[in-house]
Amino acid sequence: MTHVPVTTHDPVAADLVAALRPLLAAEAAAEAPGSGAEPGDLEQAVWLRLLERLDAQDPPRDPRGWLRRAVRAEVRRTRRAVRREAPLGREPADGGDHDPERLALAAARRRDLRDAVRRLPGRCPRLMEALLSPQDPTYREIAGELGISQGSLGPERSRCLGCLRRLLTPEVAAR
């Protein structure tokens, strides 16, 4: 996070900020690991609280004590927020596997893949079609179908996948 220097035109506030800067940095660095917040985020939140108080003409009577309490209050607020926040497994409006948009996009990706496979050189189109087959044939079955040794399928597959990757890269980047 980029730190914006705290500055003020009020000489009393400027002196207060200068006096509290090292203490706030130390308190934030000490409290941050246990809170899940970055020290700089804690510092900025506390500076904001202090500047709000100064703007309201309500400077703290005990600035050092207030600062320590403010850091701890911010840490508690951060912990509560982390406990409440839960990562979304999927979008709330997501229709799941039967969502028409998702089905259409999946079908378009399969069509793009099949089109790219057909443009591959040599035996690659047949090999990739066999690997993508819904019947899920074994390497032995694929080797028999293509008339090549089972041991050469791995290197051949790697070469074909490299060609396919090069073909799809411009299409993927264009999206």
In the chain, the number of structural domains is: 2
Check whether 1 has a pLDDT greater than 60.
no
* Residue 92 in domain: no
Q: Find the domain containing 118 and state its range.
A: 99-174
**Rounded to an integer, what distance in angstroms lies between the CA atom of residue 20 and that of residue 43?**
11
Tens of pLDDT along 92-114?
555 566 788 888 888 988 898 88
User: Which pLDDT belongs to residue 2?
Assistant: 42
Closest by CA to 30, choosing from 71, 85, 83, is 71
Q: Output 111-120 pairs: Cβ under 8 A, ≥24 positions apart.
A: 112/168, 112/171, 113/168, 116/164, 116/167, 116/168, 116/171, 117/164, 119/167, 120/160, 120/163, 120/164, 120/167
Q: Which of 24, 52, 84 is the last residue of a domain?
A: 84
